[in-house]
Chain A
Amino acid sequence: MKRNLLVLAISLLFMACTVKPSKINYGSDHCHFCDMTIVDKTHASQYVTKKGKPYMFDAIECMVNDLSKNNNEDNMAFILVSDYNKPGTLINAKEATFLISEKIKSPMGANLSAFNSKKIAEKYLQENGGKLFTWEQLKVKLSQ
C-alpha cells in the first residue's frame, strides 16, 4: 500500500514536470507581445520554452515578432499556431502552411493565417488570393 502511494506520488511529480502546451483562456489571457486580450480563436498562437513556461499571443505575427526580437527560437519546446480551418486547435508552426491574404484579416494587421495542410491552404488561396509561406519563409517576410 505504502509502496503504491509512493509510486503514485513520484509519477504525479513527473507528470507535473512534463513540458506541454497549455490551454489558452480566450477572453482573459493577454498577448505576451502586444498586451491585447486574446479573443481570436483563428489566430491565437503560443510557444512553450524548454523549461515548460508557456507564452500566449493574440496573433501569429506577434509571436513571430517576439521570437525574432529575442532571437530565442532554439529555446522553445513548442511553437504553435491556430489552424484557421479548425478554430481553437493549435498546430505545429514549423509544419504549418501560412497564408497572407488581404481578404482574411488577422488581429495585428498582417493578414496572416495558418493551415494544417497545404491542400486546404491552397483552397483558401484560390478563394481569397494572396500568397503562401512556409515557417522559414514567413520569418523572412515579417522581418522585412
Chain B
Amino acid sequence: MAIESLMKNNTKTIYTFIIVAFLLFENSAFATTINVCSSCEITSIKEAVLIAKKGDTILVKKGIFKETQINITKAVHIIGENMPILDGENKTESIFAVSTDNFTISGFKFINVGLSYTKEIAGVFISKSTYFKVTDNVFENVFYAFILQRTKYGLIKHNQIKGSAKSEVTSGNGIHLWKCSHMRIEQNTISGMRDGIYFEFVSNSHISNNRSMDNVRYGLHFMFSNHNEYHHNEFKNNGAGVAVMFSKFIKMHHNTFHFNWGTASYGLLLKEIYDAEINDNVFEQNTIGINIDGCNRINYKNNHFIRNGWALKFTGGCYANVFEFNNFMHNAFDLSYNSRLNDNKFEANYWSEYTGYDIDKNGIGDVPFRPVKLFSYIVNKTPEALVLLRSLFVDIINFSEKVSPVFTPDNLKDNKPLMKPVNPIN
C-alpha cells in the first residue's frame, strides 16, 4: 500500500517535472530577441514590431529613431539599451500607440511630441490593455507623456517626465489615466506639465513614491475616481498641490505638500469628498494647507501643518469630519470657517498658539483651545483686511472673541489641546 502511494506520488512529480521542463523549453526556443540599430539588419522599431511574434523581445540599441505611431498590438517587450532617443519631431501623432496585453516598454528617451488642442497625443498611448509595465523612460518636451484609457493591472514606474511649461495652456498632463483600474504609479518624477498625474474615472489604484513639482496646475488631480490610495509622494511648487474632487474612499497618507504659494493656491483641495482617510501628511508653507469644500466623514490624523497661511479653510457645508492628533504649528490662521454651525470634531491636537496651562501635568491643557480667530471671518469677507494681520487692533478683537465667542461657533474648540507636539518632525 505504502509503496503504491509512493509510486503514485513519484509519477506525479515526474509529470510535473516534464511539464515544467516543457514550459521552460518552449520559452527559450520560441521567444527570440530582435536587435534594432542603424547598422543592424533591422533599422526601425516599426519593422521590428511587424516581424516580432508574441513574447519576443525587441532590443533597441543607442541611436536616434524618428518614428511616430508605432502601433503595438501583440505582446512584445521593447527594451532600449543605453537610452535610445525616440524623436516625435513635433508631429501630431503619439510615438507608441499600444493596445495589447503583457507588454513592456523600458529604457527610452522620448522627445518632441507635438501638441494639439483636439487630439490626444502622448509619448506612450495605451488603450484597452492589461498586465503591462512601462518603466525607466525619460520624457522631454512632450505634450502628454502617458495617456492610458481603459487599462487594468499596469505598472508605470521610475519614469522621468519634464515638460517645457512655457505656456500653461499648451501643455498636457504627465500621466493621464481615464477609465482605468488596478494601476500602480510608482517612483516617477514629473515636472513642468499641466497636471502631474491625472485620474478620471479610475478605481482601485495606487500612487506611491512619486515626486511632482513645478507643474502649472496640480501635482495630482483626481476626478470621479473612487477607492484609490496615494502615499509617500512629494508635491512641491505646483500651481496647487493636489486636487481631489468628486471622489469617495480615497486614502492619502505620508505625503508632503509644500511651497504651493499663490493667491488661490493650496496644498490640497478637497471638493465633495466622502469617507476619506488623511493621515501622516506634512503640509508646509502653502497659502492654504487644505481647502475643504463640501466634504463629509473624513478622518484627519497625525498630520503636520507647518507655517501655512491658512492650515485649514472650510468653504461649503462639511459634516462629521474628525481631526485628531494633528500638529498645527506657526500658521497665520489655523482654521478658517464660513458658517456658524459646527459638526466637525477637533480633539487632542497640538496648537502652537495655545497659551493655556496644564496644572495636573497629564499632557493635556486644562482650558479648551479655540482655533478660529474672529479676524479670519473679516478676512473671508474682505481679503484686503489681511494687511492688518499683525496690528494691535486685530489682537484685541481676537482676544475679546476668545473670551466671549459671539461670531465663532461656540462648540468649535479643542477640549483636549495637547501641550507637546505629536511626533514632531525636524
Do A and B belong to a common assembly? yes
Give how many A-B residue pairs fall within 8 Å (CB-CB).
Answer: 46
Q: Which of B34-42, B205-213, B237-245, B386-394 contacts A (4 or more CB under 8 A)?
A: B237-245
Residues 115-130 (chain B) with a chain A CB within 8 angstroms? 117-118
In angstroms, Cα B217 to Cα A40, docked, is: 11
Number of interface residues of B (CB under 8 A): 23
Residues 1-28 (chain A) with a chain B CB within 8 angstroms? 26-28
- A34 and B240 contact, CB distance less than 8 A: no
Given known contacts A30-B264, A42-B117, is B239 in contact with A35 (CB within 8 Å)? no
Given known contacts A26-B169, A27-B169, A109-B200, is B118 in contact with A35 (CB within 8 Å)? no
In angstroms, Cα B271 to Cα A105, docked, is: 21
- B169 and A39 contact, CB distance less than 8 A: yes
In angstroms, Cα B147 to Cα A143, docked, is: 31
The residue on B at minimum CB distance from A105 is B178
Given known contacts A26-B169, A27-B216, A109-B200, is B245 in contact with A36 (CB within 8 Å)? yes
B314 interfacial contact with A, CB 8 Å:
no
In angstroms, Cα B218 to Cα A84, docked, is: 24
> Of A26, A84, A109, which contacts B223 at CB under 8 A?
A109
Complex interface: chain B residues within 8 A of A84 (CB) = 118
Q: How far is the CB of B199 from chain A (nearest CB, A)?
A: 12
In angstroms, Cα B243 to Cα A26, docked, is: 18
Given known contacts A27-B216, A109-B223, A109-B224, is B169 in contact with A37 (CB within 8 Å)? no
In angstroms, Cα B281 to Cα A133, docked, is: 46
Complex interface: chain A residues within 8 A of B169 (CB) = 26-27, 39-41
Given known contacts A27-B239, A34-B271, A109-B200, is B216 in contact with A41 (CB within 8 Å)? no
Complex interface: chain A residues within 8 A of B239 (CB) = 27, 37
In angstroms, Cα B264 to Cα A54, docked, is: 18
In angstroms, Cα B218 to Cα A38, docked, is: 11
- B217 and A37 contact, CB distance less than 8 A: yes
In angstroms, Cα B224 to Cα A27, docked, is: 22
> Of A39, A87, A105, A108, which contacts B168 at CB under 8 A?
A39
Complex interface: chain A residues within 8 A of B347 (CB) = none
Question: Top 6 A-B pairs ranked by shortest CB distance?
Answer: A27-B168, A26-B169, A87-B117, A37-B217, A42-B117, A41-B169
Q: Which residues of A contact B (CB under 8 A)?
A: 26-28, 30, 34-37, 39-42, 84, 87, 104-105, 108-109
